[in-house]
Amino acid sequence: MKLLPALFILAFALMPAAAKAKTNIDACLSKSKEYFNEKEYSLAEKTLNGCLKTNPKNADALISLAGVEMILGKFNNAEKNFIKALSYLNAKSPYKAYIYSRLGDIYMRKANLKEAEKYYKTALKYEPANINALVGAGICEEKTGDINKAVEYYKKALAVDFTNIVSRERLIALEPDILTKEELLRTMKERNIIDPAAQEFSREDMQTLSKMITAEKSNGIEYLSQKYGGKIPNGLIVERDSNKVYVRKMLTITGYNDLLRKLSSDAKQFLINKGVSVADLFTLRDENRKPIFNDMGNLTDEGLTAFTKMLRGEKSYYRPGEKLPATQKEIEMQVRNLISQNYMEITNTEYAALMTRTQCSENTLRNQLKVRYVDIGGGNKRYFVFAHPDALEPIRYPYLYVQQYRQERRIANSEAPVYGNSFGLGNGLPAKLCKKDGTLNWDGMPD
């Protein structure tokens, strides 16, 4: 028995090089899987990068690494590794559908629907029953306005997996647009929107159905259940059992009205607790100048949206005379004006880095260094720096700091640096543009 370790070492030493490499990579992949299962994603990433040093062309390691990178939000790296893996797979590899489907997810996150749809459809050529690709393609079609094609993809996904929740929820949300007249009559009767003997429904009935479906999508039934201590009274919802697999709970008109009353009551109490007087409740408006409560004291459609935002801590109601945020059209006009004046938009993260690196206060950045922002409501802003090639110092420095920050991020993410064609980089930026009190540390500041 004591000879076994020695014999194992000897056997390993006598293995062909290819077999040793396979043993090493298998052990490495196994270790990364352990970290992944323990949700230690950074350690899994580090381990997989080590695996690839042993065998840079190992498709399993590349695919696994790309999947981990997606979880960590490193989508550019994930895309590169998925594409590398494709070059090492044979034509009939079952992994191809998975990779193309995940590439579709990456481009969906980038809001590039055209590329996302292309990848999802490529995945379906390799595996027509790929659930992720079917649902992804359906979402792309829906977002680009082809509801019929979207429905086709969602139904195919349900044919593969009847319990797929995303497809089912999307089909429910689209019901007012896709159901036949007979199907609409049936669901309206189930919900008691119309009389059981009715053969027609009105435009108002359709609007009511849409509102009820929206309420269900926004967890309205769960809200009612909570209000009633976990058991909703009879008559407020109806259950439809689909093949004993999926039970769909739907609001009746009575349930919807009860939900609206309870939400309205909660909204009023919420606002009173925030210091709004009872007399002012019915004068409140949302950011689009729409009333939050109607004459009956219930939340309007806009009020429901505003109340949801209130619960998330967003500013979504305004008293009479209170300054309202700019409309979307006004925001877009402000942005266009700034860009036409040689301003460049930067992210909130870049703006925070700019403040940290320059040590300047917001007042100094805005009033002396021409940094601008557009208020988009809810306490959020879009920031811009002056990027004209002939800008004088120190006005040109905010742009340079941002470019330097971007280059550092690109290098950290192993991306090729993209240099600005106006100022360049590495021109000896001051360590701190401002003093500790946030004011400009610049004797030559022009008047």
Q: Is the pLDDT of residue 8 over 50?
A: no
Distances in Å between the Cα of 103 and the Cα atoms of 117, 136, 156 are 10, 11, 21
Higher pLDDT, 1 or 115: 115
Q: Tell me, what's the pLDDT at 1?
A: 42
Q: Percent helix, strand, coil in the chain (nearest 5)? A: 60, 10, 35
* Cis-peptide, bond into residue 5, ω within 30° of zero: no
pLDDT band of residue 430 (cuts 50, 70, 90) is: low
Residue 397 in tokens: 């420095």
pTM above 0.85, yes or no: no
pLDDT tens by residue, 335-367: 999 999 999 999 888 999 899 888 999 999 999
What mean pLDDT comes out for the span 161-172? Answer: 85
Share of the chain above pLDDT 70, in %: 87
Q: Is the pLDDT of residue 168 over 70?
A: yes
What mean pLDDT comes out for the span 275-303? Answer: 90
In which element (H, E) is residue 239 found? strand 237-242
Q: Which of 96-105, 373-382, 427-436 has the weakest average pLDDT?
A: 427-436
pLDDT band of residue 243 (cuts 50, 70, 90) is: low
For tokens 């004459």, the residue is 295
Under 8 Å between Cβ of 71 and 59: no
Q: Is the pLDDT of residue 153 over 90?
A: yes
pLDDT tens by residue, 394-428: 888 899 898 888 888 776 655 443 333 333 334 45
Rounded distance, CA 291 to CA 304, Å? 11
What mean pLDDT comes out for the span 54-60? Answer: 89
222, 295, 217, 316: which is closest to 262 by C-alpha? 222
The half-sphere exposure of 194 on its side-chain side, counting CA atoms within 13 A, is 19
pLDDT band of residue 116 (cuts 50, 70, 90) is: very high
Which residues are CB-contacts of 316 (< 8 A; sequence separation ≥ 6)? 286, 287, 305, 306, 307, 309, 310, 378
Higher pLDDT, 396 or 13: 396
In which element (H, E) is residue 385 found? strand 380-386
What mean pLDDT comes out for the span 101-126? Answer: 93
What mean pLDDT comes out for the span 150-166? Answer: 89
What mean pLDDT comes out for the span 420-447? Answer: 61
Q: Tell me, what's the pLDDT at 15?
A: 42
Rounded distance, CA 366 to CA 360, Å? 10
Q: Tell me, what's the pLDDT at 408?
A: 80
Residue count (the chain): 447
Q: Tell me, what's the pLDDT at 154?
A: 92
328, 326, 306, 308: which is closest to 317 by C-alpha? 306
